[in-house]
Amino acid sequence: MRKISEKFFRRYIVNGAIIFMFAILFSLTYIGGVSAVFSSNEYSPYYYGNREKNNVSVMINIYMGTEYIDSILNTLNEYNAKATFFVGGCWVVKNSEVVQKIIDNGHEIGNHGYFHKDHKMLSLEKNKSEMELTHKVVKELFDYDIKLFAPPSGSFGQNTLKVAQSMGYKTIMWTKDTIDWRDQDENVLYQRAINKPKGGDLILMHPTLSTSKILGKVLAFYQKEGYNLTTVYENIL
């Protein structure tokens, strides 16, 4: 009788422990503790690069305008800095000589879609069309293989990420957004670009007049702080 009781007691303890563990697992799943394991997306974008290295990247997203790009390129050359230019396909077709100049200066070209669509709202096929059109245009005009994709306005969905992955792309967001397409106050833009610097930072800019004026100051700040100004691809390695 005593053996039966001990056997029953051990079974009761083991079963109770199992039930308790499942209860914890279930609760964590719904409060977020383990939800990342079971519901995390297979694909995800980069919001920063390798935090273990002292690399920082300036990324210039372009869909319109060329008048300030020469100034930006001259400033980058002055500080021996490399940047990544995410280009819209329709802009490339109209400004191929400018893109060639960017490449000739040793900078990286990234894919920014073709018509500046809201990629989060696009089907898998439409996402693919936007990315492939730009990729083909850049490949045919410059024999250049793009490796990165930055969704216009930072809008993406799982279809976007799946297509990018299938094309061998890394999807890139940003760490610091200067919002220079909207704001023109040079001091505000500068502070946004340098606030709480860390290795791996990705700094989003556009080819605006204000950005062309503050870029040298931004580059000087990061170099003084001991950071290397690299392309985005090199940064995320």
What's the confidence (pLDDT) of residue 136?
Answer: 98
Distance CA 71, CA 30 (A): 52
Q: How confident is the model at residue 141 (pLDDT cuts 50, 70, 90)?
A: very high
Angle, CA of 195, 82 and 236, to the nearest 5° = 70
What's the confidence (pLDDT) of residue 43?
Answer: 80
What's the confidence (pLDDT) of residue 233?
Answer: 98
Global pTM reads 0.82
SS3 per-residue string spanning 153-213: HHCCCHHHHHHHHHCCCEEECCCEECCCCCCCCHHHHHHHHHCCCCCCCEEEECCCHHHHH
pLDDT in tens, 112-129: 999 999 999 999 999 999
pLDDT at 105 over 60: yes
The residue behind tokens 């279930």 is: 26
pLDDT at 221 over 50: yes
In DSSP terms, 46 is beta-bridged to 172
φ, ψ (nearest 5 deg) of residue 82: -110, 145
What's the confidence (pLDDT) of residue 113?
Answer: 97
CB of 61 closer than 8 Å to CB of 112:
yes
Residue 80's identity, in one-letter code, is N
pLDDT in tens, 20-30: 444 443 343 33
What's the confidence (pLDDT) of residue 42?
Answer: 60
Write down the mean pLDDT value for the chain. Answer: 87
Q: How confident is the model at residue 51 (pLDDT cuts 50, 70, 90)?
A: very high
